[in-house]
Structure 1
Amino acid sequence: MKPPYEITGKVLSLIASVSEKIGEVNAVHLNKPPTELRKRNRIKTIQSSLEIEGNTLTVEQITDLLENKRILAPKKDILEVKNAIKVYNQLDKFKVYELKSLCKAHEILMADLIENPGKLRTGSVGIVKGSNIAHIAPPGEMVYSLMTDLFEYLKNDDDLVLLKSCVFHYEFEFIHPFIDGNGRMGRLWQTMILKEYSPVFEFLPIESLVKSRQQEYYNVLGKSDEQGSSTLFVEFMLDIIKDALEDLLRVQNINLTSNDRIMNFKQIIGIKEFSRQDYLRAFKNISQATASRDLKVAVDNDIIEKYGDKRTAKYKYK
C-alpha cells in the first residue's frame, strides 16, 4: 500500500528548486566533490547524525579517529563513531531496494551497542521525549510486513526518487523497526536513496542541517504522526536538501586537483575516446598547459590510454 502524503504546491516548488540546483552542481563538477571536501563532509555527516542521538565526539575527535589517533572520550561514543565510519565507507556495497541490506547496515552500525543488531524488533516500543511519550510504534508482529510494504513502495512506485527518499525516511521512523538506532538508520538510508538520484548526495552532509534544526525535525515528525501523513515531513526534508545543495554551491570556487578533474571527467565521458579539447571544454577555467599536464599524469598513472601524438592525440579511460 502506498504511504499517505500529498504533493502540495510547496513540495512541487521545492522539487523544482532542488532539480535546478542539481543542474548547477553538475555544471561546476561538484557532483563528485574534491577529495578533501568529500572527507570533510563525511566527517560532518557522521558527527551530526550521532550528535542528534546524544554522542559527544567533536569533528576534530572524529578526524583523529579516522587518522588512527587515540582520543579521550566515552567508550560507547567512540564505538558509535567507529561503527558509523565503517558503514559510510561501504555505502556502495549496500542494495538500496533490499530490506536484507538495510538490516546488514544496521548490524554494522549498532554492533556491540545493542543485542541482536540487524534484527527487526518483535516486541513493542515507545519513544519518550523528556517525561512524555512522543510516539508509540506499531506492534512488533507488524514490523516485517510494514517494512516489506515500504520497500515495495520504494522500489516500484512511480514517484520521483527525491520524493520517495523523504517519504521513506518518515515511514521508517514511524515504524521504528529496530530496538535502537532508528534515527541514524533513517537518515543513512535516505542518503542511500538520494544517491540513486544523484551521486552528489553520497558526500552531502544533510545531517548537519538536520542537526541545526533538530527541534523542528522532531516537531514535524510529531505533527506528521498526528495528521497520519508524511506531507509536512516531506516539505521539511526537501527544504533541508535544498539548503544543503546551496551550501555546496557556495564552495564551488574551491580548486579541483588534477586527480579530481580526471575522475570527474570519467563520469562525463565514460568509455568514449576524447581529445584534449574535449577535456578543456569540460574545464573552461584551466589552461591548455594544465590540461596537458592532467592528461600526462593520468597516462603515467595508467588511468587512461593515449593514441597518437601532440594535437592529434586521442585518449580513452581504461
Structure 2
Amino acid sequence: MPTPHQPPFTITPRIVALVAEICERVGRWTGEGREAVSPRLRRENRIRTIQASLAIENNTLSIEQVTAILEGKRVLGTPREIQEVRNAIECYDRFGDWQATSAGDLLVAHGIMMKALVDEAGGFRRGGVGIYRGDKLVHMAPPADRVEHGVRDLLRWLETTDHHPLVASSILHYEIEFIHPFADGNGRMGRLWQSLALASWHADLAYLPVEHLISERQADYYAALGEADRRADASPFVEFMLSALRDAFDSLPTSDQVNDQVNDQVKSLVRHLSGSEEVTAAELMRRLDLKHRPSFRKNYLHPALVSGWIEMTDPSSPRSPAQRYRLTARGRRQKH
C-alpha cells in the first residue's frame, strides 16, 4: 500500500503560539455574540481581497476601480486588468460552491480565475516552469507529468490530516506554490484555496482582509516562500501566513455590525475633524491625545473608515506615508 503523502514541515513553538493567539481571537469574537461578519464589511473586505490579490500579480487597478467593475460601471484600464478583476469577482461569487479537498473544484476555479487570460485555463500545466525574481531562478517546479499526482496527493492529505486547519491551510497554500500546477495564476489560486480551507473551519475567516496584508508585506511573503524552499520545510511560510491571519483578525472593527450605532471613540475622532481638511493619522492621534498607534487604529480609525464617517485621500495605498484622512459627506452631516 503506498505511503500517504506528507508535506515537509515542522510545528515550531512560534506556530503553536500563533495558532493559540488566533483561536483566542476567534473565541472572543464568537463569545461576544458576533455570529457573523456584517454584510457590508464582507463586501468591503471582499473588494480589498480581490484588489490586493491582483495587485500582488502586478494589476494596477485601485479599490475604487474594482468597486466600479463590481457595480457594472465602466473604468479606465487595460483589457487584461479588467478581465482579471471580473474573473476574480466571479470566483469569489462561486466561493461557496467548492470544496478545498476537490481537485475538480480547483480546476473549475482556475478556469474561471484565468478565463480569457491563458490558453490552459482550467487545466494543469503541460510544460516545465521556473519561478524567477528578476533574472534569478528562485524555484524550479516539479515536472509537468508529476503535477496532477502531486495535487491529488496534497488534497488527500488535506482531507485526512489531524493538524489544525490554520496550519493545514497554510501548508496547502505553500504546497500549491511549490507544485506550481498551472501555467499561470498559481499565486492567486494558492491564496484563494487557503481561504476556502479556512472557511470550512470558521466561515468568517473567508472575509478577513488577509490578501491586503500580504500585498503590504509582499517582500516578506516571497522571502518566506524562498526560505521554505531553501529549508525544504514549509514552516517559515506557515509562520508568515499565521502572523498575517492574526493581524488581519485584529484589523476587524470592534463591533459585529457597521451601522449607525457608532461608538464614542469614532464620534470623538469625528469631532476633531472639520470641513474638508485632510490630516495624517499622527495628527489625529495628537488631537485625541493618544500614544498607542495599534489601539488608535483598532478602536478609532478603522471603525470610522468602515462606518463611512471618514475616508482616505489615497485608498489604493492605505499604508502610504502620504496618507491623509478627511470627513465624508456622511461624516459632515453626522457632525452637525
TM bin (shorter chain)? 0.7 to 0.9
User: By how many angstroms is 1:130 displaced?
Assistant: 0.7
**Length, aligned pairs only:** 257
Q: Are 2:74 and 1:70 equivalent residues in the alignment?
A: yes
1:31-65 CA distances to partner (integer Å, 9 max, x unpaired)?
52112111110000000000000001100001111
Deviations along 1:181-237, whole A, 9 cap, x unmatched? 000000000000000110111211110010110000001100100100101101110
- The reply to whether residue 103 of structure 1 matches residue 75 of structure 2 is no
2:272 aligns to what? none
| Residue type at the aligned position of 2:37 | P
How far apart are 1:252 and its partner, in Å?
2.2
Matched letter for residue 252 of structure 1:
S
Aligned counterpart in structure 1 of residue 123 of structure 2, from 108, 119, 125: 119
C-alpha separation in 2, matches of 1:85 and 1:251 = 27
Q: Report the counterpart of residue 22 of structure 2 in structure 1.
A: 18
Answering whether residue 45 of structure 2 is matched by residue 41 of structure 1, we say: yes
2:97 maps to 1:93: yes
Cα distance change of structure 1 residues 36 and 223 upon mapping to structure 2, 3 Å threshold: same
Q: Does structure 2 retain, via aligned residues, the 8 Å contact 1:95–1:101?
A: yes
1:208 aligns with 2:212: yes
Instruction: Give identity over the alignment, percent.
Output: 40
The runs of 5 or more residues in structure 1 that have no matched partner are 259-318
Question: Given the alignment, which residue of 155, 162, 168 partners 1:164?
Answer: 168
Aligned to 1:316: none
Aligned-partner Cα distance in 2 for 1:70–1:121: 33
Superposed displacement of residue 128, structure 1: 1.3
1:50 to 47, 54, 76: 54
Partner SS, residue 197 of structure 1:
coil
Cα distance in 1 between the residues matched to 2:245 and 2:175: 18
Deviation of 1:27 (Å): 2.8
Do residues 252 (structure 1) and 255 (structure 2) align? yes
Segment of structure 1 superposing worse, 24-33 or 50-59: 24-33
| Matches for 1:1-318 after TM superposition, within 5 Å | 1-248=5-252, 250-252=253-255, 254-255=257-258
Cα distance, 1:123 vs structure 2? 1.1
| Runs of 4 or more consecutive aligned structure 1 residues displaced over 4 Å after TM superposition | none
Secondary structure at the counterpart of residue 162 of structure 1: helix
Whether the 8 Å CA contact 2:47–2:63 is kept in 1: the answer is yes
Deviation at 1:158, TM superposition (A): 1.1
Give structure 2 stretches of 5+ with no counterpart. Answer: 262-336
RMSD: 1.5
Question: SS at the partner of 2:131?
Answer: strand
The aligned amino acid for 2:42 is: R
**Whole-angstrom distance in 1 between the partners of 2:41 and 2:260:** 11
Instruction: Label 1:67 to 1:144 Cα distance change in 2 as closer, same or farther (>3 A).
Output: same
CA distance in 1, matches of 2:217, 2:35: 25
How many Å apart are 1:117 and its aligned residue? 0.4
- Work out the CA distance in 2 between the residues paired with 1:33 and 1:253: 6
Distance (Å, rounded) in 2 between the aligned partners of 1:28 and 1:58: 34
